[in-house]
Amino acid sequence: MLSVDGVNQYYGGSHILRNVSFEAKAGEVTVILGRNGVGKTTLLKSLMGLVPTKTGSIKLGGEPIDRLTPYERVRCGIGFVPQGREIFGRLTVEENLRMGLASKPGATPIPPALFELFPVLRQMLGRRGGDLSGGQQQQLAIARALAAGPKLLILDEPTEGIQPSIIKDIGRVIRSLAEDANARRAGVQPMAIVLVEQYVDFAEQLADQYLVMERGEIVMRGRGVDMPRDGVRARISI
């Protein structure tokens, strides 16, 4: 679904991303790990077109998107949940969800499936986003990104500042999106998910593929089931 090849990115004279290459397949969760400041968030912003790439290519479904604007990438099928959630605090839950439909015709309804994934949101449609708890805001941010039906979902540290019970719910949703049996039966490709995460236990539970970044480079990669054997936890704690 997503193909990243030789991406380099700079801030001023600083070389932030160094020849980053990987693929994220439909039906799989690709987890990107690393300590703070190694370029993980910059990589996600590059995928979304929020920061320009100097060299390299980014393709979605085989089509190049590295010259497209962020809103054009959304129309191509990318959903993005940024670090810190960035919901609209003064808008209601319903209005936040409708913002996720901005690339669709005005009469497009909010997909009922969002309330199956996050039942609490149905109860709070009229409540302002800023009045929700941190965990509820994170669920709203994910639902907003899913509203337009993306092919690729990108999440930047969704467990940050979230209570353990909500972390479990978010993990369940992420796994169900990647493995959507209904989509498979209907002949539709399940979603590809790219997840930046610091919480190793959460990453190990979800990862089909893992990537470890240091100083803007991918220095380790492998299958999620091999993370304990490969010593990923020790590598990112050094």
- Listed in sequence order, the DSSP H helices in 23-153 are 40-48, 70-76, 93-99, 113-117, 119-123, 134-146
Name residues whose C-beta falls within 8 Å of residue 124's C-beta, 6 or more positions apart in sequence.
93, 132, 136
Using one digit for the tens of pLDDT, what is the confidence trace for 36-84? Answer: 889 999 999 999 999 989 999 999 999 999 999 999 999 999 999 998 8
Please say whether the dihedral angle defined by the alpha carbons of residues 198, 201, 202 and 208, taken in this order, is positive or negative.
Answer: positive
pLDDT band at 181 (very low <50, low <70, confident <90, very high): low
The total of structural domains in the chain comes to: 1
Distance, CA of 128 to CA of 126 (rounded, Å): 7
pLDDT at residue 189, as a whole number: 63
Using one digit for the tens of pLDDT, what is the confidence trace for 111-156? Answer: 898 998 899 999 999 999 999 998 899 999 999 999 988 999 999 9
Domain CATH number, residue 127: 3.40.50.300
Q: Which is nearest to 62 in space by CA: 3, 150, 20, 5?
A: 3
Provide the whole-model pTM: 0.90
- Please, are residues 215 and 236 in contact by the beta-carbon 8 Å criterion? no
Distance, CA of 8 to CA of 18 (rounded, Å): 5
Residue numbers of the domain that contains 8: 2-237
What strands, in cross-sheet order, belong to the sheet with 55-60?
Answer: 14-24, 2-11, 55-60, 63-64
pLDDT band at 236 (very low <50, low <70, confident <90, very high): confident
Query: Across the strands, what pairs with 60?
Result: 2, 63
SS3 50: coil
The amino acid occupying position 154 is: I
> Could you tell me how many helices (H) and strands (E) the chain has, helices first?
11, 10
Tokens standing for residue 157: 């540290």
Q: What is the mean pLDDT of residues 223-230?
A: 94
Distance, CA of 130 to CA of 126 (rounded, Å): 12
